[in-house]
């Protein structure tokens, strides 16, 4: 029997490869753009006609190619990016298979012009279906311009298979965005049928996102930042309440390359599950930087899927980083997160930064539209419900002295009036004689604060207990409070009875921010603790809470939720000897006065004593 096996001619092998790599015009766009980025370009233009069916041209100002390289670049397995197997594991560049250009050349007509900086002349190359038609020296700017014409001209079945123009264009836009977003240092332009689709100037990552998705995004981005030995995560999640019903704003970039990862996507949805409205998908633009040897990019021909060596750890870090970012944002929702000033957005207030341990906002409802910046510009600004209740409580405290209440009112108005644009307007005459807000800590136990009529002494741990009690109660009744994810989940173990009790309390615990799940016989795994008690030992905390809870339930006959909120508040409140900074004390006082009942601890014991000046004066008579 004669031998039957033959080597395929290169042109056919290339066409087969092309079937894998080039599915549609957008695939060409992706490959050309990635090559331009790899060539170190700082300026890239994409010109497309008829959704890529007639023309896709990418012009870059990158390193360019020599005459030989230009020719070589179209050969199969021709790449400047790997020399040996080891290189495969240390690649920082986008492409490395060395088959993109060869594949494209086998199914289209290519015009390539390239010049290396310093060379007088460049090279021009015309190739059709893998055959070189022309190669000659030419004048050309620095860098490379590659035009791909009449894609699939020799594969009619493929050409017929292409979708409507609008669909193909949508795919091209997707690919353009995926390259443009992680490369804000590159100026990028895209025109389709002579209409400008994108014109992106160089800038920060945030500016790039905003230029791609629109100015409204500037207010929606919550920064994420986390660095461990394994990975650096930076970028933004979209405020959960702004999450969309349709998918499409989910971007992971690993070493500046767009990837798809349902697994890592889950880390984000899980982190935000209580905050994102039903059926909506959280948006994010996250850059993950890892050692290239730590990932295997080669598992998919179009390289949008990658494999991490230690995916589970990355999942955990990503989830906790997201939680942390949102938690930080939730406790200080009015804070301005270093918004870009390059845009003409209204000036945002720059308030003092609250201290996370005590700056809680029980009124915060993540699903409620935030007061938008345009209403802030109308003076006088309305007080938020919390500020109003704050003010009312202060007023109540000074009920007997209306003139003090008045002064306080003036103080509140001037203090909450943080917008610099408003500062000069007539409506906000600040009282020059307003007392400075100072507070002192006494024996690590009491807070002394000056008020106009004298001073108040506040029992610090009872005050905190009151704040937490009301926060937890609100969490149990309406929305849950954020929890602080632990980097290393901990297993806790109880007696059979206590384990049954924990099981019964699981929903309450979770709502209050204890991320706990059953884990085998009498054990549970704790992945997060309430924001207010992040550094506590979960076992000790839960044992304490159970004990308190049983006590409140049996002896005091309190309803279940109250008993629980009370026990948790008692166990997570700051203890005596907890040192507080002045701004922490002031934040604590403000939170206390935002409570429904700031005067007594959940146990009924007093929190505040007032000493008026005349009381004091009497002592010195």
36 binds ligand ADP (CB under 6 A): yes
* Structural contact between residues 176 and 30, judged by C-beta atoms closer than 8 angstroms: no
Binding residue (CB under 6 A) for ligand ADP from 27, 79, 393, 453: 79
The three-class DSSP label of residue 164 is: coil
Alpha-carbon distances, residue 148 vs 46, 192, 257, 353, 426 (angstroms): 11, 14, 23, 54, 64
Count CA atoms closer than 13 A to 89's CA, side-chain side.
Answer: 6
Per partner kind, with CB cut-offs from 5 to 8 A, the member of ligand ADP, Mg ion, none near residue 470 is: none
Choice between 73 and 481, CB closer to ligand ADP = 73
Tokens of 597: 């009942």
- Rounded to a whole number of angstroms, the minimum distance from the CB of residue 226 to Mg ion is 31
Tokens of 268: 């984000």
* Structural contact between residues 591 and 581, judged by C-beta atoms closer than 8 angstroms: no
* Residue range at the interface with ligand ADP (CB under 6 A); choices 92-100, 173-181, 213-221, 500-508: 92-100
Binding residue (CB under 5 A) for Mg ion from 95, 182, 283, 327: 95
* Structural contact between residues 68 and 114, judged by C-beta atoms closer than 8 angstroms: no
- With the C-alpha atoms ordered 75, 79, 84, 89, is the resulting torsion angle positive or negative? negative
- Non-local (6+) Cβ contacts of 468 within 8 A are 360, 532, 568, 569, 572, 573
Bridge partner residues of 377 (DSSP): none
Choice between 95 and 534, CB closer to Mg ion = 95
95 binds ligand ADP (CB under 6 A): yes
Sites for ligand ADP among residues 141-160 (CB under 6 A): 144
Choice between 71 and 232, CB closer to ligand ADP = 71
Choice between 141 and 223, CB closer to ligand ADP = 141
- Non-local (6+) Cβ contacts of 588 within 8 A are 358, 447, 458, 460, 463, 464, 467, 580
Choice between 94 and 331, CB closer to ligand ADP = 94
Count CA atoms closer than 13 A to 497's CA, side-chain side.
Answer: 4
Choice between 108 and 589, CB closer to ligand ADP = 108
Per partner kind, with CB cut-offs from 5 to 8 A, the member of ligand ADP, Mg ion, none near residue 56 is: none
Tokens of 2: 């004669």
* Residue range at the interface with Mg ion (CB under 5 A); choices 30-38, 42-50, 67-75, 124-132: 30-38
Binding residue (CB under 5 A) for Mg ion from 14, 35, 45, 106: 35
Residue with tokens 């297993």: 491
33 binds Mg ion (CB under 5 A): no
* Residue range at the interface with Mg ion (CB under 5 A); choices 95-103, 399-407, 486-494, 599-607: 95-103
78 binds ligand ADP (CB under 6 A): yes
Sites for ligand ADP among residues 187-216 (CB under 6 A): none
Binding residue (CB under 6 A) for ligand ADP from 45, 73, 485, 548: 73
| Position with the least CB separation from ligand ADP | 95
* Structural contact between residues 374 and 346, judged by C-beta atoms closer than 8 angstroms: yes
Per partner kind, with CB cut-offs from 5 to 8 A, the member of ligand ADP, Mg ion, none near residue 79 is: ligand ADP
- d(Cα 24, Cα 162) in Å, to the nearest integer? 7
- Pick the closest to residue 498 from 472, 524, 476 (CA basis): 524
- d(Cα 403, Cα 388) in Å, to the nearest integer? 18
Sites for ligand ADP among residues 101-120 (CB under 6 A): 101-102
* Structural contact between residues 64 and 116, judged by C-beta atoms closer than 8 angstroms: yes
Instruction: Tally the residues of the chain.
Output: 621
Choice between 99 and 177, CB closer to ligand ADP = 99
168 binds ligand ADP (CB under 6 A): no
98 binds ligand ADP (CB under 6 A): yes
97 binds ligand ADP (CB under 6 A): yes
100 binds Mg ion (CB under 5 A): yes
Residues contributing to the site for Mg ion (CB under 5 A): 35, 95, 100
**Which residues contact ligand ADP (rule: CB under 6 A)?**
31, 35-36, 39, 60, 62-65, 73, 78-81, 95-102, 144
């Amino acid at each position: 029997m004669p031998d039957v096996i033959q080597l395929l001619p290169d042109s056919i092998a290339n066409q087969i490869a092309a079937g894998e790599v080039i599915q549609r015009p957008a695939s060409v766009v992706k490959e050309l753009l990635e090559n331009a980025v790899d060539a170190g370009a700082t300026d890239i233009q994409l010109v497309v006609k008829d959704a890529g069916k007639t023309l896709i041209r990418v012009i870059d100002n990158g390193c360019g190619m020599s005459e030989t390289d230009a020719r070589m670049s179209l050969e199969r397995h021709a790449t400047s990016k790997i020399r040996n197997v080891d290189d495969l594991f240390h690649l920082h560049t986008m492409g490395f298979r060395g088959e993109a250009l060869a594949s494209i050349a086998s199914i289209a007509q290519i015009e390539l012009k390239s010049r290396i900086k310093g060379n007088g002349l460049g090279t021009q190359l015309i190739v059709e279906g893998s055959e070189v038609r022309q190669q000659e020296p030419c004048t050309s700017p620095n860098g490379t311009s590659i035009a791909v014409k009449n894609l699939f001209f020799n594969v009619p079945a493929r050409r017929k298979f292409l979708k409507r123009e609008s669909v193909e264009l949508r795919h091209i836009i997707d690919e353009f965005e995926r390259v443009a977003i992680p490369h804000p240092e590159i100026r990028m332009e895209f025109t389709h049928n002579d209409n400008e689709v994108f014109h992106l100037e160089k800038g920060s990552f945030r500016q790039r996102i905003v230029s791609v998705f629109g100015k409204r995004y500037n207010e929606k981005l919550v920064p994420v930042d986390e660095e461990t030995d394994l990975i650096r995560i930076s970028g933004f999640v979209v405020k959960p309440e702004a999450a969309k019903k349709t998918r499409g704003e989910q971007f992971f970039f690993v070493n500046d390359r767009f990837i798809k990862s349902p697994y890592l996507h889950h880390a984000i949805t899980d982190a935000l599950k209580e905050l994102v409205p039903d059926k909506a998908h959280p948006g994010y633009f996250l850059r993950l930087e890892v050692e290239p040897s730590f990932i295997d990019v080669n598992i998919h021909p179009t390289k949008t899927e990658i494999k991490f060596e230690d995916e589970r750890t990355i999942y955990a870090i990503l989830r906790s980083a997201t939680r942390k970012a949102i938690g930080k944002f939730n406790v200080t929702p009015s804070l301005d997160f270093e918004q870009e000033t390059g845009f003409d957005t209204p000036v945002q207030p720059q308030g003092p930064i609250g201290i996370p341990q005590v700056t809680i906002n029980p009124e915060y409802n993540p699903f409620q539209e935030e007061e938008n910046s345009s209403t802030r510009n109308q003076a006088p600004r309305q007080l938020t419900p919390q500020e109003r209740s704050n003010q009312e409580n202060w007023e109540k405290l000074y009920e007997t002295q209306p003139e003090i209440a008045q002064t306080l009112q003036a103080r509140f108005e001037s203090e909450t009036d943080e917008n610099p644009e408003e500062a000069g307007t007539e409506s906000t005459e600040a009282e020059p004689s307003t007392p400075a807000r100072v507070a002192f800590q006494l024996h690590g136990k009491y807070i002394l604060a000056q008020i106009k009529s004298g001073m108040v002494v506040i029992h610090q741990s009872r005050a905190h207990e009151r704040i937490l009690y009301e926060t937890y109660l609100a969490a149990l009744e309406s929305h849950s409070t954020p929890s602080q994810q632990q980097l290393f989940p901990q297993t806790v173990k109880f007696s059979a009875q206590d384990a049954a009790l924990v099981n019964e309390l699981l929903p309450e615990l979770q709502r209050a921010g204890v991320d706990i799940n059953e884990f085998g016989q009498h054990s549970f795994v704790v992945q997060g603790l309430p924001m207010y008690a992040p550094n506590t030992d979960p076992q000790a905390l839960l044992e304490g809470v159970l004990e308190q809870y049983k006590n409140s339930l049996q002896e005091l006959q309190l309803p279940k939720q109250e008993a629980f909120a009370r026990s948790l508040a008692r166990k997570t409140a700051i203890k005596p000897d907890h040192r507080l900074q002045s701004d922490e004390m002031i934040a604590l006082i403000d939170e206390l006065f935002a409570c429904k009942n700031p005067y007594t601890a959940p146990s009924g014991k007093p929190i505040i004593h007032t000493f008026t000046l005349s009381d004091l004066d009497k002592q010195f008579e």
